[in-house]
Structure 1
Amino acid sequence: MCEILIKTNCPHCQSSKVVRNGKKRNGRQNLLCRSCGKQFLPQYRNRGADPTVRQLAVRLLERNSGVRDTAEALGISRKCVLDNLCRHAGKICIQPAERHYASVQIDEAWSYVGKRKKGKYWLLYAYSPQKDEILAYSCGGRSAKTVRELLSKPEGVEIDEYCTDHWKAFAKVPPPEKHTVGKAHTKNIEGVNTSIRARNRRFVRKTTCFSKKKENHLAALDLMFNYRNRRKAKHHTF
């Protein structure tokens, strides 16, 4: 069987091994990438369906562009931007790279979700200063339940020491023999908090930049922490 190679690159993997692969129901030519196995069209009538535009939307969101800014810059709808955010975040899994950590610092931040000045939503996350890595995070109320959920997430990981501030909920969950309290022991994660505020406007302009839905808020956190863990060697403050 003879295959005709098309002079175009795959928008997913940039491979040039692209062949014709039948036609869509509307009669438009369909293309197939022999390298990654994904199908696409030579041109898209709807910009939001173009894989290249989708990738650009994710990159802009990773670099702290707002949903409206991204939609305006790329000429697509806000719904399309949010759909891309949730779709990409659904493929992300924040997992510790190691099985043992000598010391882990935990801190909290908050923003609004759903309603301004009423829907306060807390973020707790665990950070390894030795590896410069976000290990896990949890969201919810400012309670021991959220702390317990956070500590249960790094499954199969041995942690020798938990460093926190004097927040009461922290005293109820970590084992006392592994728990170290004091601002002097959380200086590293405070620096990460600063970079989070610089890279996610949900934690800075809280009354004007907040997610209306929890799933969008969690998707934005997945995107942010995954990006930081991937880029930590190149950009300390991401």
Structure 2
Amino acid sequence: MRKLDAKTRALIIRLLVEGNSIRATSRIADVSKNTVNKLLIDAGKACAKYHDEYVRNVKASVIQCDEIWSFTYAKQKNVRTATAAPEGAGDTWTWTAIDSDSKLIVSYMVGGRDSEYAIEFMDDLRDRLANRVQLTTDGHKAYLEAVEGAFGGDVDYAQLIKIYGDMGGKTAARKYSPAECTGIKKRTVEGNPDKALISTSFVERQNLTMRMHMRRFTRLTNGFSKKVENHMHAVALHFMYYNFVKVHQTLRFTPAMAAGLTDRLWDVEDIVELVDANEPAPKKRGPYKKRQPGISN
């Protein structure tokens, strides 16, 4: 099979991480949708592997966590009547943990929103940190058991609980806009968190970045993921690009540089090299046997 040159693959990845859909990317890069999808899968696997191996021993002081909703194949309420809905169809949640200082996404996970995923997410976050941190989450109850199990008493943990007003009825404002936040409650759960630092502002701003840079998160379109595996690959590619390639407007360099994980500015071509390095080595062919006349091999 003919392999795309590095320049074309870099273009495809750049289009994907800047919020273009699979179809739009295939039109701009003049390649097939299958080619784009295959590269997305390969890049997602390579980026997830790199993040898992190298985003470790992160020195942070304040971590904010949140979950962002999307859906795969069909919304949860429509999965039962959907035609040939694949496994994983319905609500798809992406958990994120951001370092407030470096803006690094320390940990992320795609899955459900129950306690099982919360526990796995917090265990992963704990394993990537080098020191005790102040941790803030929203009021999701699943965090309570997960944080306790992962950190024990070695964390300063608080929840920021937002109170929303009732917009009432099925109005257009209710459908297209979130309810108005009428107040917040800061609740200390563990340790001695600094109340001035109890916030989820940075991680909620990251939710907007995700929706802007991943077509699959755009609301009220048909750009949503059709397979949860492809959704996971897109998320892995996005966070690799965000952490190592995209210059943060406030920092003036990348979050990975701010966190001390790298001493240079990466480019999309570096992600292409990761994909190449992650490809399995070609299998050795067996010895060639010359066909004998009159003998069927």
TM-score by length of 2: 0.59
Which whole-Å CA distance do the structure 2 matches of 1:59 and 1:194 have between them? Answer: 19
- The Cα shift of 1:100 comes to 3.1
Which whole-Å CA distance do the structure 2 matches of 1:205 and 1:185 have between them? Answer: 25
**Residue deviations 1:129-158 (CA, integer Å, cap 9, x gap):** 111100111121111111111122242523
**Residue deviations 1:89-117 (CA, integer Å, cap 9, x gap):** 22112243643322211001011113345
Which whole-Å CA distance do the structure 2 matches of 1:201 and 1:174 have between them? Answer: 31
Query: Hey, what does 1:202 align to over in structure 2?
Result: 216
**SS, match of residue 68 in structure 2:** strand
Letter in 2 for 1:56: L
- Find 1:124's aligned residue among 95, 101, 108: 95
In the comparison of the two structures, how many residue pairs are matched?
Answer: 193
Taking a change above 3 Å as real, the CA distance of residues 137 and 156 of structure 1, as seen in their structure-2 partners, is closer
Query: Hey, what does 1:133 align to over in structure 2?
Result: 104
- Residue 124 (structure 2) pairs with residue 146 (structure 1): no
Which whole-Å CA distance do the structure 1 matches of 2:224 and 2:103 have between them? Answer: 27
Which whole-Å CA distance do the structure 1 matches of 2:160 and 2:29 have between them? Answer: 46
Query: Hey, what does 2:28 align to over in structure 1?
Result: 73
Consecutive unaligned residues of structure 1, counting only runs of 5 or more, are 1-44
Which whole-Å CA distance do the structure 2 matches of 1:181 and 1:234 have between them? Answer: 27
Query: Hey, what does 2:59 align to over in structure 1?
Result: 100
Query: Hey, what does 2:69 align to over in structure 1?
Result: 110
Q: What is the aligned-residue RMSD (CA, Å)?
A: 2.5
**Residue deviations 1:19-72 (CA, integer Å, cap 9, x gap):** xxxxxxxxxxxxxxxxxxxxxxxxxx96x7333222211111111111000001
Query: Hey, what does 2:18 align to over in structure 1?
Result: 63
Equivalent pair of 2:57/2:128 in contact (CA under 8 Å): no
Which whole-Å CA distance do the structure 1 matches of 2:245 and 2:7 have between them? Answer: 21
Which whole-Å CA distance do the structure 2 matches of 1:206 and 1:110 have between them? Answer: 13
Which whole-Å CA distance do the structure 2 matches of 1:215 and 1:156 have between them? Answer: 24
Equivalent pair of 2:66/2:95 in contact (CA under 8 Å): yes
**SS, match of residue 126 in structure 1:** strand
- Find 2:159's aligned residue among 163, 175, 181: 181
- Name whichever structure is richer in helix by fraction: 2
Single out whichever of 119-128 and 86-95 deviates more from structure 2: 86-95
Which whole-Å CA distance do the structure 1 matches of 2:58 and 2:208 have between them? Answer: 27
Equivalent pair of 1:147/1:173 in contact (CA under 8 Å): yes
Single out whichever of 93-102 and 63-72 deviates more from structure 2: 93-102
Query: Hey, what does 1:6 align to over in structure 2?
Result: none
Single out whichever of 209-218 and 112-121 deviates more from structure 2: 112-121
**Residue deviations 1:68-97 (CA, integer Å, cap 9, x gap):** 000011111111001011112221122436
**SS, match of residue 20 in structure 2:** coil
- The Cα shift of 1:206 comes to 5.2
Alignment of 1:43-54 (within 5 A): 49-54=4-9
Equivalent pair of 1:109/1:203 in contact (CA under 8 Å): no
Which whole-Å CA distance do the structure 2 matches of 1:63 and 1:207 have between them? Answer: 17
**Residue deviations 1:194-221 (CA, integer Å, cap 9, x gap):** 2222222322225522111122111100
Taking a change above 3 Å as real, the CA distance of residues 219 and 132 of structure 1, as seen in their structure-2 partners, is same
**SS, match of residue 110 in structure 2:** strand
- The Cα shift of 1:160 comes to 2.1
Taking a change above 3 Å as real, the CA distance of residues 186 and 84 of structure 1, as seen in their structure-2 partners, is same
Equivalent pair of 2:65/2:200 in contact (CA under 8 Å): yes
TM-score by length of 1: 0.72
Equivalent pair of 1:132/1:232 in contact (CA under 8 Å): no
Equivalent pair of 1:57/1:74 in contact (CA under 8 Å): yes
- Tell me which of the two structures has the higher relative contact order, counting C-alpha pairs closer than 8 angstroms and 6 or more residues apart: 2
Q: What percent of counterpart residues are identical?
A: 26
**SS, match of residue 170 in structure 1:** helix
Letter in 2 for 1:202: R
Equivalent pair of 1:162/1:174 in contact (CA under 8 Å): no
